[in-house]
């Protein structure tokens, strides 16, 4: 990922033009060098928390699975169910702690 030196939008590395302000990368190398010197690296830990998995329901592949993840300040719950032949469903709950 790279950051636009003009509007500070986050862009994919292969993008030549910022769609936020239409800045063309390579047109002002001094500006890009100054912005990359100020860039802050991504957090090392990735913000991941502990995860606890549990299975609900009774037998078969249609049994729902649930995971609860603890991230500082948030509680995340993810539940998936495979309901063949109709398909499957995914429920995500995000709550502030």
What are 65-95's pLDDT values in tens digits?
A: 677 776 778 888 888 776 666 667 778 888 8
Which pLDDT tens digit goes with each residue over 5-62? 888 888 888 999 998 899 998 888 888 777 665 655 555 555 555 555 544 444 444 5
SS3 label, residue 28? coil
Q: Which residues contact 1 (CB under 8 A, 6 or more apart)?
A: 10, 11, 12, 13
Alpha carbons 28 and 39: distance in angstroms, whole number: 17
Provide the pLDDT for residue 17: 92
Provide the pLDDT for residue 40: 53
Provide the pLDDT for residue 37: 59
Q: How far is CA 70 from CA 36, 81, 91, 94, in A?
A: 33, 22, 17, 10
Other beta carbons less than 10 A from residue 23's beta carbon: 20
């Amino acid at each position: 990922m790279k950051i636009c030196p003009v509007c500070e939008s986050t862009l994919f590395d292969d993008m030549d033009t910022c769609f936020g302000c239409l800045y063309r990368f390579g047109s002002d190398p001094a500006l890009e060098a100054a912005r990359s010197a100020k860039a802050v690296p991504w957090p090392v830990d990735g913000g991941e928390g502990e995860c606890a998995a549990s299975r609900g329901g009774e037998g078969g592949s249609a049994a729902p699975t649930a995971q609860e993840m603890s991230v500082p300040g948030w509680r995340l719950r993810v539940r998936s169910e495979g309901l063949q032949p109709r398909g499957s469903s995914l429920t995500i709950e995000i709550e502030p702690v």
